[in-house]
Amino acid sequence: MKTIEKVLFALVLIPVFTFSLSANKICVTTPNNTLLLSAEEGSELKFVYYGDKLSEGDIENIFCNEKYAPAAYPLYGMNCQGESALAVKHGDGNMTLQMVVMDVEKITGENSETTVVKMKDKVFPFYVNVFYKAYTDADVIETWTEIFHHEKKNVELNNFASAYLPIRRGDVWLSYLYGSWGNEGRLMQEPLKAGMKVIKNKDGVRNSHTSHAEVMFSLDGRPQENHGNVVGAALCYSGNYKLRIDTDDSEYHHFFAGINEENSTYSLPKGEVFRTPELALTFSREGLSGASRHFHTWARFHKIAHGTTLRKVLLNSWEGVYFDIDQEGMDQMMNDIASMGGELFVMDDGWFGGKYPRNNDTSSLGDWVVDTRKLPQGIEGLLADAEKHKIKFGIWIEPEMANTVSELFEKHPEWVIESDQRPLVTGRGGTQVVLDLSNPEVQDFIFDLVDGLMTKYPGIDYIKWDANMSITNHGSNYLDKSKQSHLYIEYHRGFEKVCQRIREKYPQLTIQACASGGGRANYGVMPYFDEFWVSDNTDALQRIYMQWGTSYFFPAIAMASHISATPNHQTSRSIPLKYRIDVAMSGRLGMEIQPKNMTAEEKELCRKAIEEYKMIRPVVQLGDIYRLVSPYDDLGVASLMYVDSDKEQAVFYWWKTEHFVNQHLPRVKMAGLDADKIYTIRELNRIDNKPLPFEGKSFSGRYLMSNGLEIPYNHTVDYHKKSDYSSRVLYLEVQ
Ligand code: DGJ
């Protein structure tokens, strides 16, 4: 190794192998997964195996095939027909890469071991280090690259995927999420066919309204929730991404994932290190739900802010009052949520604006001063109210944005993203614009906004961080003309820098990622955020579908799920409160409603639900998910459950999704219990006049998993309370 490389990679060199594999054979392991690579010095890095944990004997024998193994990080130029992970133009115009392994190092962390394979081009002083970070407490391997060079001129990066994974040949099904505003996280499942499947995002700011940067591959044909081999992959990035699955003429499926390179060609100067975002991989023998459990454990331990701390039950003001914020109204809402057992109140949009009051969405973003016409006692008054009601207080901001009708825009028109010499394209309210986070001054402004709020009002417990616009007109007044194609990447670097600064100073603060609903459900932001708003659509029936899909990759602790009014404000559907509660209780429970419009009976139902949710909260938020019957299978019912790690407690959800006379619903078999333990059943949120036949009865885990309970299709309630909705939440506990 040359000295410069040694300086750049002053990593601790420790032996790569724990048993007698030769030095070029790399084994990366988590508790239940194995990844094998062949990294012979002077040769190409090759992918040998990824899947279930292997015995030492199998590992040695699998390496017999290594000479036929595919490249672990395919490069463009010397085999141009295939898809590549990395494609560049060198300073002299040469378009090819041919890289060989120089060295392998391992870094031992507290709960992980990272293998670094260092590669160099055979001709150019161009380098790629491929990282594989294997967790010791979660079945996830994160992989990414660092790209740098010492060529005289800049090297153009035309494609720069984080990783490549050969999947397998033949009958493989893809599960992924797709949707739209108000309909996020829809589960899509399809067999991989010849040709290219591309899942991508080009929003610039938010990246999970339509497609998501996470996928699962069912390796044994049609996907099953609790059986079969599954590979899961999640790209940990907040910006534009591209996932490619290329099924070639041999029916082999090749998977590539990384930053979307479209309109983002990166001109890399000598010495700068370009780091690609991590791709998190998992393998499960226990079907899609098994892969979800792996992601959830990894996320709670490593990828979500405060991932193992229970979340508070909250009331958010948005659907209750929208922009109609005032001191008295906020106090009343705080009083109401406190009396129902809630622990936090969040004041949403509408509280700010000096010269331009924020009465609707046409003005004021950027002017983060309290509107004392609405709140004469300011935030101090609200914090005092919260203290009086013995709850915490949270506040809404949309820091990355401005309106053209704002004092900020008047002062800093150059801070907005806009195309040079062309008219400004505006978004929400006809005046919204995106601030240019590539600009360090803008980064400081955003940091100062949060810092200012927290310094002045240290009692603030929670921030809802919203983002309601895309990058519509490409252009940065800050970036050099030659670097305009860096905008999307620099925006997210700037965003991450701000998040890091905020987290360094305010590690305890709870922050929700919201972006017109579920636009920011991704593992790029989650290390800095505690949770995300799943969707602006709070309709309980549609939420079953959205939350089902979202749960493939994200744990309940991160999924904000609120009880809202009926008829629902987005769908106008009327759904009984019991059903709305039962759906919201399967995520991070909250309320998004005007409590003063609720009857005393409704408030009492919510009070009881919150009390019961607090009891099951550790199981829901920290337990293992088992999805049982999918709403997407159109069987008339959807069901899932959470089980705690000792298999002593579980919560079972059953929601009817259709209602017909003489309908026959499947009996739902439970999963994840201990077959030999005896569980006592208790119904939560009960509204029926008489208890369920199995209320208080005890059953073995074996019976519940092989047979299941016969759930009555309808509620036994008085005539005026009957409806076409029915749902059950059962709490199971080993006595
Ligand atoms: C969009 C969010 O998704 C809503 O929850 C709400 O906060 C509004 N913005 C406020 O303008």
Determine, yes or no, domain membership for 572: yes
The domain containing residue 573 runs over which residues? 314-622
CATH value at residue 381: 3.20.20.70
**Which residue from 514, 538, 564, 570 has its CB within 8 A of the most atoms of ligand 1, so it is best to mutate?**
514
Beta-strand runs (E) in 179-325: 186-191, 195-200, 214-218, 230-235, 241-247, 252-259, 266-268, 274-275, 279-284, 314-316
Domain boundary among 622, 637, 664: 622
* pLDDT band, residue 433 (cuts 50/70/90): very high
- Rounded Cα distance between 213 and 204, Å, is 14
- Rounded Cα distance between 580 and 564, Å, is 7
Determine, yes or no, domain membership for 632: yes
Q: Which atom of ligand 1 lies at the shortest distance from residue 348's CA?
A: 7
77 and 195, same structural domain?
yes
Give the model's pLDDT for residue 64. 86
Name the closest-CA residue to atom 1, ligand 1. Answer: 516
Determine, yes or no, domain membership for 277: yes
Name the closest-CA residue to atom 6, ligand 1. Answer: 318
Q: Which atom of ligand 1 lies at the shortest distance from residue 361's CA?
A: 11
555 and 439, same structural domain?
yes
Name the closest-CA residue to atom 2, ligand 1. Answer: 516
Q: How far is the CA of 459 from the centre of ligand 1 (A)?
A: 23
510 and 365, same structural domain?
yes
CATH value at residue 265: 2.70.98.60
Q: How far is the CA of 405 from the centre of ligand 1 (A)?
A: 19
pLDDT of 552-600, one tens digit each? 999 999 999 999 999 999 999 999 999 999 999 999 999 999 999 999 9
pLDDT of 439-460, one tens digit each? 999 999 999 999 999 999 999 9
Per the prediction, the chain carries an average pLDDT of 96
- Helix, strand, coil % (nearest 5) of the chain? 25, 30, 45
64 and 182, same structural domain?
yes
Q: How far is the CA of 657 from the centre of ligand 1 (A)?
A: 27
Name the closest-CA residue to atom 10, ligand 1. Answer: 349
455 and 403, same structural domain?
yes
Looking at the structure of the chain, the number of domains it has is: 3
Q: How far is the CA of 398 from the centre of ligand 1 (A)?
A: 9
Nearest to 587 by CA among 185, 201, 140: 185
194 and 80, same structural domain?
yes
Give the model's pLDDT for residue 542. 98
Domain boundary among 256, 276, 303: 303
645 and 613, same structural domain?
no
Spell out which residues line ligand 1, taking CB within 6 angstroms: 318, 348-349, 396, 466, 468, 514, 516-517, 533, 536
Domain boundary among 247, 272, 303: 303
Determine, yes or no, domain membership for 308: no
Query: With 60 as the cut, is the pLDDT of residue 83 above it?
Result: yes
Q: How far is the CA of 315 from the centre of ligand 1 (A)?
A: 14
Q: Which stretches of 514-588 are DSSP H helices?
A: 540-550, 577-584
Determine, yes or no, domain membership for 309: no
Query: With 90 as the cut, is the pLDDT of residue 2 above it?
Result: no
Query: With 90 as the cut, is the pLDDT of residue 17 above it?
Result: no
608 and 654, same structural domain?
no
CATH value at residue 719: 2.60.40.1180
Determine, yes or no, domain membership for 497: yes
pLDDT of 476-487, one tens digit each? 999 999 999 999
Query: With 90 as the cut, is the pLDDT of residue 55 above it?
Result: yes
The residue to which tokens 């999947």 are assigned: 167
Determine, yes or no, domain membership for 220: yes
560 and 431, same structural domain?
yes
Q: Which atom of ligand 1 lies at the shortest distance from residue 514's CA?
A: 3
Backbone phi, psi, residue 629, to 5°: -125, 125
pLDDT of 490-501, one tens digit each? 999 999 999 999
Mean pLDDT along residues 643-654: 98
Determine, yes or no, domain membership for 120: yes
Query: With 60 as the cut, is the pLDDT of residue 669 above it?
Result: yes
287 and 322, same structural domain?
no
Backbone phi, psi, residue 502, to 5°: -65, -45
**Which residue from 536, 561, 593 has its CB within 8 A of the most atoms of ligand 1, so it is best to mutate?**
536
**Which residue from 184, 346, 466 has its CB within 8 A of the most atoms of ligand 1, so it is best to mutate?**
466
Name the closest-CA residue to atom 9, ligand 1. Answer: 516
228 and 89, same structural domain?
yes
514 and 470, same structural domain?
yes
